[in-house]
Structure 1
C-alpha cells in the first residue's frame, strides 16, 4: 500500500503541528539512554530553524516523542539570503559544498518545505543518538505526523496542547515547570531577565511586545490547571488578567484535548469544518494524481519489452 500523500499549503505563511515517535515508542530520549540528549535535540531544532524559513512557535520533548508547532514561510526569493542560509547549512554539515547561483531554486524549494525540515531534524538527531551510543539503526519509528493549522485560535490551541504534554503525563502541574518544553524555556529566560520577542498570536497581538511571553505563560499554566486537574483537586492559579476564553470555549477545548483532536492524525487539518473539508479535498486530489502517475508508469513498464526481459 502506498503511503499517504502529504498536503502542504502554498501560502506566504503556513502553520503546522508535527510529531515524531521513537521506534516502538521506547524511551530513547530519556537520560537513561543518552544523558543530556534532549539538549542535543533542542540544539538541532535551533540549527535547522536557522537554515530553513521556519519559526518554532512551541515545542516539547518527551522521553519517546516530540511535538513542534511550526510557522513555515515562503518569502520573496532573495539570492543573497539563500546564499547565507546555504553557507549556514555547510557550517553544520560534514560534507562541505560551495555556493553556486544555480543552486538558488533548489535551495528555496528545500528551505520552505516542512518535510525537508523534518527530514533534516530527524536525520541529525538520529545520527547524534547513534554516535553517542556507538550504535547503528533507526531512532524514529514511522513517518512523522503532520496537521495543517487553519486559524489563529487553532494555532493557540495546538500550542497549548503541546505545552500540556508533560502535565498530562503527570510530570508536573504547570507546563512552565517542565524544562523541556517551550513554556519552561520561556520561564527560564524571563526569570533571567532576557527580552523575548514572542509572536503576536491571537489575543496576544493586542498586548505590548514585552508582555506577550509572560501572558502566554500565564495562559498556558492556567489552562493546564483548568483542563487537566481533577475536579476534586483543582490547580490553584491567581491570574494577573482575565482569561481571554469564555466558559463555553473552555469546555470546547476540554473536549478537544480529551479526544486528542489536535493530534488526530487521520485528518491532516486542524480548524473549522470548512477548512478540514478543504484540506481533505486537496488530499483526495493529490492521491488521485499520484495513483494516475503510478498507473501510467506500470503500463509503460508492461509495454516495454526491455522491462520484461525480452
Structure 2
C-alpha cells in the first residue's frame, strides 16, 4: 500500500527528493518519434524554462534534472530557510506570479488599509502560501499541468498527458557525497 507524500517527506532526514513524471498513451515528451517521424525536441526547452521559472518563485531548487523521451527526472532541494525569511509582500508577489491571489492580498499590495480581522486572515493565507511554495507537490503540479496543456494543444488532443501523479523518493544525505 502506498503512503501519502506528506508522510514520506521529512526535512529532518533530507531536503533532497527525486521526482519522476511519465507520459501516457505513448506520448512523446521530447526527441524524435521514429514511428511518426515527428520531432518533439522543442518540448525540452518548454520543460527547462518552466522548471527554472518555478525554481525562481518556489523555495525549491533544481539540484539536477534529466528530460527523457517520455519522462522527466528532477532532484529538488527544499529550501525552508529561504522561505522562512520571506516577508508577507514577498510571499504574495511570488504566489501571484502563478495564481491570481485573493482580493485581500491584492488590496494589501496596493497599500490599502486593512482592519485587524483582514490582517489576521491575510496572515493565515500567506502562511498557507509559504507552505505551498516549499511543497514538492505544488511545484510538480505547476510544472506538469503547464507542460500537459502545451503538449495536448500541440498534439490536438485532450485528456491526460502524464501517467497519474509524479513519483517521489527521498535522497539520503549519503547521495550528496
So what's the TM-score if we normalise by structure 2?
0.73
1:1-310 → structure 2 map (5 Å cutoff): 3-6=2-5, 7-11=8-12, 14-24=15-25, 26-31=27-32, 32=38, 34-75=40-81, 76=84, 78=86, 79-90=88-99, 100=105, 102=122, 103-151=125-173, 153-155=174-176, 202=177
Give me the whole-angstrom Cα distance separating, in 2, the residues matched to 1:82 and 1:57. 22
Q: Structure 2 vs 1, CA of residues 123 and 132 (structure 1 numbering), >3 Å: closer, same or farther?
A: same
Instruction: Indicate the SS of the match to 1:70.
Output: strand
Check the 8 A contact 1:13/1:73 in 2, yes or no. no
Matched position secondary structure for 1:105: helix
Q: Cα deviations across residues 65-86 of structure 1 (Å, max 9, x unaligned)?
A: 1101110121325323212312
Structure 1 residue 48: Cα displacement? 1.4
RMSD: 2.5
Q: Which runs of 5+ in 1 are unaligned?
A: 156-201, 203-310
| Alpha-carbon distance in structure 1 between the residues aligned to 2:31 and 2:104 | 38
Q: Is the contact between residue 34 and residue 132 of structure 1 (CA under 8 Å) also seen in structure 2?
A: no
Q: Deviations over 1:106-144 (max 9, x none)?
A: 211111111111111111110111122232111111321
Give the Cα–Cα distance (whole angstroms) in 1 for the partners of residues 158 and 57 of structure 2.
27
Higher RCO (C-alpha 8 Å, min separation 6): 2
The alpha-carbon deviation at position 4 of structure 1 amounts to 3.1
- SS of aligned partner of 1:88: coil
Q: Which has the higher helix share?
A: 1
Distance of aligned partners of 1:131 and 1:80 in 2 relative to their CA distance in 1, 3 Å threshold: same
Give the conservation status (yes or no) of the 8 Å contact 2:18–2:76. yes
Q: Which runs of 5+ in 2 are unaligned?
A: 33-37, 109-121
Tell me how many residue pairs correspond in the alignment.
150
**Structure 1 counterpart of 2:111:** none
* Larger displacement relative to structure 2 (12-21 or 117-126): 12-21
Question: Which residue matches 2:119?
Answer: none
How much has 1:26 moved relative to structure 2?
Answer: 4.0
Counterparts of 2:169 and 2:135, CA distance in 1: 14
